[in-house]
Amino acid sequence: MLRHMTSRRRARVAGLAVAIALLAVAVPAAATPDYDWPGMKKCGTFQAQYKIYVYAKNITCKTARRIQIEFWRGPKSRRVVHNGGTGASGWVTLKRYPGWRCTSGSGGGGCSRGNKSASYQN
Protein backbone atom coordinates (compact mmCIF):
# COMPACT_ATOMS: atom_id res chain seq x y z
CA MET A 1 0.00 0.00 0.00
CA LEU A 2 2.75 2.48 0.89
CA ARG A 3 4.53 1.80 -2.44
CA HIS A 4 1.70 3.43 -4.38
CA MET A 5 1.50 6.55 -2.16
CA THR A 6 3.24 9.81 -2.90
CA SER A 7 6.07 10.83 -0.59
CA ARG A 8 3.90 13.64 0.78
CA ARG A 9 1.13 11.21 1.69
CA ARG A 10 3.62 8.75 3.22
CA ALA A 11 4.93 11.58 5.42
CA ARG A 12 1.37 12.40 6.56
CA VAL A 13 0.63 8.76 7.39
CA ALA A 14 3.91 8.43 9.28
CA GLY A 15 3.27 11.66 11.16
CA LEU A 16 -0.22 10.55 12.10
CA ALA A 17 1.11 7.19 13.33
CA VAL A 18 3.69 8.94 15.51
CA ALA A 19 1.05 11.31 16.93
CA ILE A 20 -1.27 8.43 17.80
CA ALA A 21 1.58 6.51 19.45
CA LEU A 22 2.56 9.55 21.54
CA LEU A 23 -1.03 10.17 22.55
CA ALA A 24 -1.48 6.54 23.59
CA VAL A 25 1.57 6.79 25.84
CA ALA A 26 0.78 10.23 27.30
CA VAL A 27 -2.91 9.85 28.15
CA PRO A 28 -2.68 6.96 30.63
CA ALA A 29 0.22 8.64 32.43
CA ALA A 30 -1.71 11.90 32.79
CA ALA A 31 -4.96 10.22 33.80
CA THR A 32 -3.55 8.41 36.84
CA PRO A 33 -2.06 10.64 39.54
CA ASP A 34 -0.47 7.58 41.13
CA TYR A 35 3.10 8.72 41.54
CA ASP A 36 5.40 8.91 44.51
CA TRP A 37 5.84 11.99 46.65
CA PRO A 38 9.11 11.99 48.58
CA GLY A 39 8.52 10.91 52.17
CA MET A 40 4.82 10.09 51.58
CA LYS A 41 3.10 6.72 51.88
CA LYS A 42 0.47 5.73 49.33
CA CYS A 43 -2.74 4.99 51.21
CA GLY A 44 -5.17 3.90 48.51
CA THR A 45 -8.19 5.57 46.96
CA PHE A 46 -11.83 6.28 47.59
CA GLN A 47 -14.61 7.73 45.50
CA ALA A 48 -16.05 11.20 46.16
CA GLN A 49 -16.87 13.68 43.39
CA TYR A 50 -13.65 12.32 41.85
CA LYS A 51 -11.41 9.36 42.51
CA ILE A 52 -9.29 10.52 45.44
CA TYR A 53 -5.72 9.20 45.90
CA VAL A 54 -4.62 9.50 49.55
CA TYR A 55 -1.04 9.93 50.84
CA ALA A 56 0.28 10.13 54.42
CA LYS A 57 3.34 11.60 56.09
CA ASN A 58 4.15 11.01 59.78
CA ILE A 59 0.69 9.47 60.39
CA THR A 60 -0.90 6.11 59.65
CA CYS A 61 -2.69 5.51 56.39
CA LYS A 62 -5.85 4.74 58.35
CA THR A 63 -5.82 8.23 59.90
CA ALA A 64 -4.96 9.92 56.59
CA ARG A 65 -7.87 8.17 54.85
CA ARG A 66 -10.29 9.09 57.65
CA ILE A 67 -9.26 12.75 57.49
CA GLN A 68 -9.63 12.90 53.71
CA ILE A 69 -12.97 11.09 53.77
CA GLU A 70 -14.19 13.61 56.34
CA PHE A 71 -12.90 16.48 54.18
CA TRP A 72 -14.54 15.16 51.00
CA ARG A 73 -17.66 13.38 52.21
CA GLY A 74 -18.37 14.84 55.65
CA PRO A 75 -21.37 17.14 56.09
CA LYS A 76 -20.78 20.86 55.78
CA SER A 77 -21.90 21.29 59.39
CA ARG A 78 -18.63 19.62 60.52
CA ARG A 79 -16.43 21.99 58.48
CA VAL A 80 -15.36 25.54 59.23
CA VAL A 81 -14.38 27.58 56.15
CA HIS A 82 -11.74 30.28 56.63
CA ASN A 83 -11.01 33.06 54.14
CA GLY A 84 -13.04 31.49 51.32
CA GLY A 85 -11.88 27.91 51.84
CA THR A 86 -10.09 27.33 48.54
CA GLY A 87 -7.29 29.02 46.69
CA ALA A 88 -4.05 30.52 47.89
CA SER A 89 -5.32 32.25 51.02
CA GLY A 90 -8.19 30.02 52.15
CA TRP A 91 -8.40 26.88 54.26
CA VAL A 92 -10.88 24.59 55.98
CA THR A 93 -10.80 23.12 59.49
CA LEU A 94 -12.58 19.90 60.42
CA LYS A 95 -14.49 19.76 63.70
CA ARG A 96 -13.73 16.04 64.09
CA TYR A 97 -9.99 16.69 63.72
CA PRO A 98 -9.10 19.74 65.84
CA GLY A 99 -5.87 21.47 64.88
CA TRP A 100 -5.84 20.14 61.32
CA ARG A 101 -5.85 22.73 58.52
CA CYS A 102 -6.95 21.64 55.04
CA THR A 103 -6.06 23.42 51.83
CA SER A 104 -6.87 22.59 48.24
CA GLY A 105 -5.73 23.57 44.80
CA SER A 106 -6.01 22.40 41.25
CA GLY A 107 -5.91 18.61 41.34
CA GLY A 108 -4.68 18.14 44.89
CA GLY A 109 -4.34 19.36 48.43
CA GLY A 110 -4.12 18.13 51.95
CA CYS A 111 -4.66 18.54 55.65
CA SER A 112 -1.79 19.14 58.03
CA ARG A 113 -1.05 19.60 61.70
CA GLY A 114 2.55 20.30 62.58
CA ASN A 115 4.76 17.83 60.71
CA LYS A 116 1.83 15.45 60.03
CA SER A 117 0.13 15.42 56.65
CA ALA A 118 -2.84 13.70 55.01
CA SER A 119 -2.66 14.68 51.34
CA TYR A 120 -4.68 13.86 48.25
CA GLN A 121 -4.74 14.04 44.49
CA ASN A 122 -7.85 13.89 42.35
One domain, residues 52 and 96 = yes
One domain, residues 9 and 45 = no
User: pLDDT tens across 31-79, in order?
Assistant: 455 566 778 999 999 999 889 999 999 999 999 999 999 999 999 999 9
Q: Is residue 67 part of a domain?
A: yes
In what helix (H) or strand (E) does residue 101 lie, and over which residues does it extend? strand 97-104
Give the domain extent around 46: 41-121
One domain, residues 56 and 114 = yes
What pLDDT, on a 0 to 100 scale, did the predictor assign at position 30?
42
- For residue 112, the cross-strand partners are 101, 117
Q: pTM higher than 0.85 for the full model?
A: no
Average pLDDT over residues 2-10: 55
Helical segments of the chain, H only = 7-31, 61-73
Q: Is residue 22 part of a domain?
A: yes
